[in-house]
Amino acid sequence: MKSLRFTSTVLAITLALVPERSDAQARTSVAVDATVGGGRGKGGEYWDREIGGARLAASVRRWRSPRFALFGELSMDWLAITMGHDLVCYPSSRGGCMDPYPALSGPAAIIGVATRNSDRGLEARLGVGGGAYVADGTRVGATVSQLDATFFPLVHAGVVLGARWIVVPRYRSDKLSMLTWSFGLRLR
Q: What is the CATH number of the domain that holds 156?
A: 2.40.160.20
Convert the pLDDT of each residue in 128-186 to its tens digit: 999 999 988 889 999 999 999 999 999 899 999 999 999 999 888 889 999 999 999 99
Nearest Cα neighbor of 159 from 180, 182, 123, 184 is 184
Task: Give dist(CA 137, CA 140) in Å, integer.
Answer: 10
Count of C-beta atoms within a 10 Å radius of residue 96: 8
Q: Please indicate, yes or no, if residue 19 is contained in any of the structural domains.
A: no
Q: Please count the structural domains in the chain.
A: 1
- The model carries a pTM of 0.78
Domain membership flag for residue 151:
yes
Is 162 contained in some domain?
yes
23 within domain boundaries: no
Task: Look at residue 56 and tell me if it is in a domain.
Answer: yes
CA-based diameter of the chain, in Å? 65
pLDDT digits 0-9 by tens, 63-122: 888 899 999 999 999 987 665 556 677 777 777 887 778 888 999 999 999 999 877 889
Domain range for 100 is: 2-8+30-187
